[in-house]
Structure 1
Amino acid sequence: MKDRLIITITDVHGSKQYNLHQFVRRIVLYFSLFLVALILLGGVSIRLLLSEVKQIQERRDSLIQEYADTLERNEQLRQEIEQKSEELITISDRVEDLEGIIGVQKDEESSGDLSLIERVDLASITGVQKGFVMRLIPNGYPINSNQVSADYGWRIHPILKRREFHTGIDLRAPVGTPVYAAADGVVDFSRSEYNGGYGNLVKIDHSFGFKTFYAHLSKLIVKKGDFVKKGQLIAYSGNTGMSSGPHLHYEIRFLGNHLDPRPFIDWTMKDYTNIFEKETSVKWQSLLTTINNLMEIQAPRSSPAEPR
């Protein structure tokens, strides 16, 4: 009886007893312990697996968000690239327009090798050189009117009714229209008198022997000795002196000799070289060489001094 186990089962019908050997009892005990351990191990494993699944889900959500952010950033970058591309095209077109305005000669073979920055630099250098020349020598219309009522040359005088040489060009304009200096210079004459038929008259001395006359004015703004810049207001047009109607009489002289103002008023950066062919009384090559030398002299002076 010592090595045996008696199990009693009681129900409504009575009690029953079962005798088990001690070995069987140990087997049942070990199996029960194994089953409990298996359940505990399964619970821990399931908890660990659930934790890993949760981490994987969180990582997946993070990757999905990063992917969405990357797509959004890529879309922003694509839009920025498109915008910059459009800006570069616009800049390139404007540089091309600038090259056309200042008359930069285009070489189809070499122009493709130049970067946009090099083209801008070239246009800037060329523009500065030409702008310097055209600031010193009379060019463009001195008044906002291109209506020529009398050109340069022989004509029948509208008042004297005889054939005379017209030493300038007449630009039709209402009384009081602003008149501007055709180039940098200094006012040599400014007087409100008859002045030999010129009426109210302004004369400006420019560099290298050029001189401009502005006649039949209604009001003078500048005085003798004033320094003026190209485009500066100097007077208002009128109908004074020997004049048959409101207009500006405009003359250009070089070393005291009359020049046809037409090539000068039509002179632009785009048609920069045309005047060299149309006006042959000026030694342009020597003049341009002198101006370029002046630019080279001014360049070092315009740079900041080195610290000592």
Structure 2
Amino acid sequence: MMQNKLVITIADEKGARQFQVHKHIKKIIVWALILFFCFIGGIILLMKFLMHTMDVIALEQNIAISEYRYIYQQNEILKHKIQQKNNELNMIHQKIGDLESIIGTQKNNQKIYDKVKEIDLEQLAYQHKEMMLNLIPSGAPILQQAKRQNALPKEYLNRKKEALGVNFDVPKRTPVYATSDGVVDTLRLNYKKGYGNFIKINHSFGFSSLYAHLDEILLKKGDFVKKGDLIGYSGSSGGVKSPVLYYEVLFLNKILNTEIYVQWNMENFNSLLLNNNTIDWESLVWTIQDVLRLKKFQNNLKSEEE
């Protein structure tokens, strides 16, 4: 039995004392110390991990706060821009009444207006005239000179009393260009009768233009075009005997004397206004003056923002 026990002797001034301890207690103490230090080490590692996690969370929080501040600033900028746009829209709405007056009167009463009286055409600014020539169909839809007649093809005479369209006798695949800024309203392809392949473009203030007997159309419905943009190529679709481009200018879907608009340019600008009394040119000129003022106002706002 003594072999399984460890005798510890402690001597002092009072004498010697002996303690008997089981010899396996030494291993137990060693393992206990090892476990204790492992536990302490684990606690230290856990604390470091938690501190690192807290640092990461704090960094993410700072990033989130910065993003929130940026979004808030952008929101304030957008609010300011929206207010500016609302002011611009209010100015535009004030002018809609003028346009409705022009279009409504024409549509309902077909009123014949006196020749321009209160407009001093000679005093109109070049920029004003240029905008009118861009917004209202003007000039020919082709570049080269071509033989033309101010008449509709025979197949249309049974449904139109007045021959006001223009035929351009041009070679097949002659480029055809938009005569004004606008949006493609209607187009038809692979049609063997009537207009054949044609495209109709809506312009500002109730004007529109139509290009018929095309060989190819390069646009699709809803496309925006600028004056001078290529829209297609002439052809002989629709059953015409030879290549031709048929061209119309319309106002509120009523065909106008297209030849006048084909010849209209900066040099003879006044002639159209003075020789066409079916449109309220006076109100139209004033409206475009307001559009120019609004454009100038927008440019000033843009310059201030920059």
Give TM-score scaled by structure 1 length: 0.55
Which letter does structure 1 place at the counterpart of 2:146?
Q
Q: Deviations over 1:264-290 (max 9, x none)?
A: 011111111100122211111111111
Aligned residues of 1:148 and 1:169 also touching (Cα < 8 A): no
How far apart are 1:242 and its partner, in Å?
3.2
Task: Give the structure, 1 or 2, with the largest relative contact order (CA under 8 Å, sep 6 or more).
Answer: 2
Q: Distance in 1 between matches of 2:231 and 2:195?
A: 16
Which letter does structure 2 place at the counterpart of 1:240?
S
- SS in structure 2 at match of 1:273: helix
Structure 2 partner of 1:200: 197
Which letter does structure 2 place at the counterpart of 1:254?
F
How far apart are 1:163 and its partner, in Å?
10
Q: 2:291 aligns with which of 275, 280, 294?
A: 294
How far apart are 1:240 and its partner, in Å?
0.5
Structure 1 partner of 2:217: 220
Whichever of the two has the greater Rg, that structure is: 1
Structure 2 partner of 1:187: 184
Structure 1 segments (4+ residues) deviating >6 Å: 158-164
Q: 1:177 aligns with which of 165, 174, 180?
A: 174
Q: Specify whether residues 283 and 242 from structure 1 end up closer, same or farther in structure 2 by C-alpha distance, changes over 3 A only.
A: farther
2:99 maps to 1:135: no
Aligned residues of 2:192 and 2:239 also touching (Cα < 8 A): no
Q: Specify whether residues 195 and 286 from structure 1 end up closer, same or farther in structure 2 by C-alpha distance, changes over 3 A only.
A: farther
Q: Distance in 2 between matches of 1:137 and 1:298?
A: 18
Give TM-score scaled by structure 2 length: 0.55
Q: 1:103-118, aligned counterparts within 5 Å?
A: none
Which letter does structure 1 place at the counterpart of 2:129?
K
Q: Where does the alignment leave 5 or more consecutive residues of structure 1 unmatched?
A: 1-103, 106-121
Q: Distance in 2 between matches of 1:142 and 1:162?
A: 25
Identity across matched positions, percent? 37
Q: Specify whether residues 271 and 220 from structure 1 end up closer, same or farther in structure 2 by C-alpha distance, changes over 3 A only.
A: same
Q: Deviations over 1:144-177 (max 9, x none)?
A: 2433433137x8x289999964341101110000
Q: 1:207-246, aligned counterparts within 5 Å?
A: 207-246=204-243
Aligned residues of 1:146 and 1:171 also touching (Cα < 8 A): no
- SS in structure 1 at match of 2:213: strand
CA RMSD across the alignment: 2.9
Aligned residues of 2:157 and 2:163 also touching (Cα < 8 A): no
Q: Distance in 1 between matches of 2:160 and 2:268?
A: 34
Aligned residues of 1:252 and 1:258 also touching (Cα < 8 A): yes
Q: Where does the alignment leave 5 or more consecutive residues of structure 2 unmatched?
A: 1-120
Structure 2 partner of 1:146: 145
Aligned residues of 2:135 and 2:181 also touching (Cα < 8 A): yes
Q: Specify whether residues 209 and 198 from structure 1 end up closer, same or farther in structure 2 by C-alpha distance, changes over 3 A only.
A: same
Q: 2:304 aligns with which of 299, 303, 306?
A: 306
